[in-house]
Amino acid sequence: MKAVIIGAGMGGLSAAIALKQIGVDVEVYEQVTENKPVGAAISVWSNGVKCLNHLGLEKETAALGGIVDSMSYIDGFTGDTMCRFSMQPLIDEVGQRPYPVARAELQLMLMNAYGIDDINFGKKMVSVADGPDAATVEFADGTAVSADMVIGADGARSLAREYVLGHPVDRRYAGYVNFNGLVDVDEAIGPATEWTTYVGDGKRVSVMPIAGNRFYFFFDVTMPEGRPYERGTAREVLAESFADWSPGVQRLIAALDPATTNRVEILDLDPFHTWVKGRVAVLGDAAHNTTPDIGQGGCSAMEDAVALQFAFEEHPDDVGAALAAYESARTERAGELVLRARKRCDVTHAKDPEATAAWYDELRSEDGTRVIRGIVSNIVGGPLT
Query: From the list 21, 31, 120, 146, which residue makes contact with ligand FAD (rule: CB under 6 A)?
Result: 31
Of the two residues 149 and 246, which places its CB atom closer to ligand FAD in the complex? 149
Query: From the list 96, 178, 331, 378, which residue makes contact with ligand FAD (rule: CB under 6 A)?
Result: 178
* Binding footprint of ligand FAD, residue count (CB under 6 A): 35
Q: What is the Rg, in whole angstroms, of the alpha carbon atoms belonging to the chain?
A: 21
Q: Does 30 bind ligand FAD (CB under 6 A)?
A: yes
Q: Does 155 bind ligand FAD (CB under 6 A)?
A: yes
Closest by CA position to 106, among listed 40, 178, 185: 40
Q: Does 8 bind ligand FAD (CB under 6 A)?
A: yes
Closest by CA position to 376, among listed 89, 69, 101: 89
Give 19's contacts (C-beta < 8 A, 6+ positions apart).
Answer: 3, 5, 26, 308, 309, 312
Q: DSSP secondary-structure letter at 44? A: E
- Min separation Cβ 268 and ligand FAD, Å: 10
Q: What are the residue ranges of helices labelled H in the chain?
A: 10-21, 46-54, 58-64, 88-94, 103-114, 159-165, 234-241, 247-255, 297-314, 319-348, 353-364, 369-379
Q: Does 154 bind ligand FAD (CB under 6 A)?
A: yes
Strand-pair category, 280-282 with 149-152: parallel
Q: Does 10 bind ligand FAD (CB under 6 A)?
A: yes
Sign of CA dihedral 240, 241, 247, 250: negative
Q: Does 264 bind ligand FAD (CB under 6 A)?
A: yes
- Min separation Cβ 183 and ligand FAD, Å: 16
Burial of 23 (0-12, 13-18, 19+ CB in 10 A): exposed
Query: From the list 3, 4, 6, 308, which residue makes contact with ligand FAD (rule: CB under 6 A)?
Result: 6
Q: Does 90 bind ligand FAD (CB under 6 A)?
A: no
Query: From the list 301, 308, 337, 375, which residue makes contact with ligand FAD (rule: CB under 6 A)?
Result: 301
Of residues 36 through 75, those in contact with ligand FAD by CB under 6 A are 39, 42-43, 48
- Min separation Cβ 8 and ligand FAD, Å: 5
The residue range among 50-58, 227-235, 239-247, 298-306 that interacts with ligand FAD, by the rule CB under 6 A, is: 298-306
- Min separation Cβ 103 and ligand FAD, Å: 7
Q: Where are the beta strands (DSSP E) in 140-290?
A: 144-147, 149-152, 172-184, 194-200, 203-210, 214-222, 262-268, 276-277, 280-282
3-state SS class at 200: strand
Q: Does 9 bind ligand FAD (CB under 6 A)?
A: yes
Q: Does 174 bind ligand FAD (CB under 6 A)?
A: no
A 10 A CB-CB count for 259 gives: 9
Contacting residues toward ligand FAD, per CB under 6 A: 6-12, 29-32, 39, 42-43, 48, 124-125, 153-156, 159, 178, 180, 264, 284-286, 292, 295-299, 301
